[in-house]
Amino acid sequence: MANYENMHSSEVQRLAKQGNKDALFEMVWRIDELQPAEYRNGPVERFVWHDYWFEKAADAGHIVAKARYARSLVDRIKNAEDRQKAIRYYQSLVDDFDAGKLSGDDREWGEVAKLWLGVMLCEGYHTQRDAIKGAKLIKEADAFTNGLEGFGFKVMETLGGVFGQGCAQSGGDPSIDDLKQAIKYQEIAINRFNAEKDDPNNRGYLDFAKNYLEILKKRKESKEEIKKITGKESTYYSEFAKWQEDMMKISSDAQDWLDAKKTAMKRLRERLAREGW
């Protein structure tokens, strides 16, 4: 395999123009060499450069590019275009993993994709919500990610949230059984964090998990007490749908950023076209 990291930029560009997926991925990191100063000074321009080459490499079949680009899209403003694109890349990785097409280190990216695709399907931001499939994918990811530092905690903490918010079934009001599952997963998460001696910078996540565990226990006890009295589980008006709607709203500042990103992407494509890409 060629050593792209130490390769001269002109050679990287030559191979990238031929569609070499590794060279296309290397182009992501060449912004300071290849972009004019006016294109790389602002955060929007850097995002655009990275997006352009991440997408090119991902579409050429680069496994790491698919995973990292999808995650980058998810971490931004929750707009429909980015999140639907992320789902496509994650689903591609999951399909390849399940079909046995990933080997070696690439299998790790397939399992990570299962986790985040599962989370996205449970959340349903600007995407078709499928909580049952989402929870299943998160559980499947656990078989592998328990061995990765920090991921064992994150998988279980995420799954606890899925059941605790009622996302594991069609409604927004978790049942007593849902809450029992949520408690179980939060307790596992807390124990894993302590056992792994996770990154001290993540201590806030552990504190959140502990606080959330106490809330879950109180909710379960309350619903069980009402069931003893009335003979049936209590339900309440769930604001889940409204919460989902609020989470998907884009502020004026965020919209300005998205508009600036589109303008910068257009400029970059025009420039690259003039250079023969």
Cα–Cα distances (Å) from 204 to 198, 199, 201, 211, in that order, read: 11, 10, 7, 11
Phi, psi of 3 (to 5 degrees): -90, 85
Q: Which of 269, 214, 261, 273 is CA-nearest to residue 42?
A: 261
**pLDDT higher than 70, residue 236:** no
How far is Cα 217 from Cα 173, in angstroms, rounded to an integer?
15
DSSP state of 35: S
Tokens of 94: 């999951």
b/e code 238-250 from CB counts within 10 Å (16+ = b): eebeeebeeebee
Q: How far apart are CA 173 and CA 55, in angstroms?
A: 38
Q: What pLDDT does residue 73 have?
A: 93
pLDDT above 70: percentage of residues in the chain = 85
Note the pLDDT tens digit of each residue in 179-230: 998 999 899 888 888 655 556 666 778 888 999 999 999 999 999 999 999 9
Predicted local confidence at residue 196, as pLDDT: 54
Q: Does residue 96 contact residue 64 with C-beta atoms inside 8 Å? A: no
Whether the pTM exceeds 0.95: the reply is no
Q: Is residue 108 very low, low, confident or very high in pLDDT (cuts 50, 70, 90)?
A: confident
What gap in Å lies between CA 162 and CA 174, rounded to an integer?
A: 10
What is the per-residue pLDDT for 51?
94
Q: Which of 53-62, 78-87, 137-146, 227-236 has the lowest mean pLDDT?
A: 137-146
Q: What is the pLDDT of residues 37-79, one digit of tens each?
A: 766 667 788 889 999 999 999 999 999 999 999 999 988 888 8
Residue 148 or 28, more confident = 28
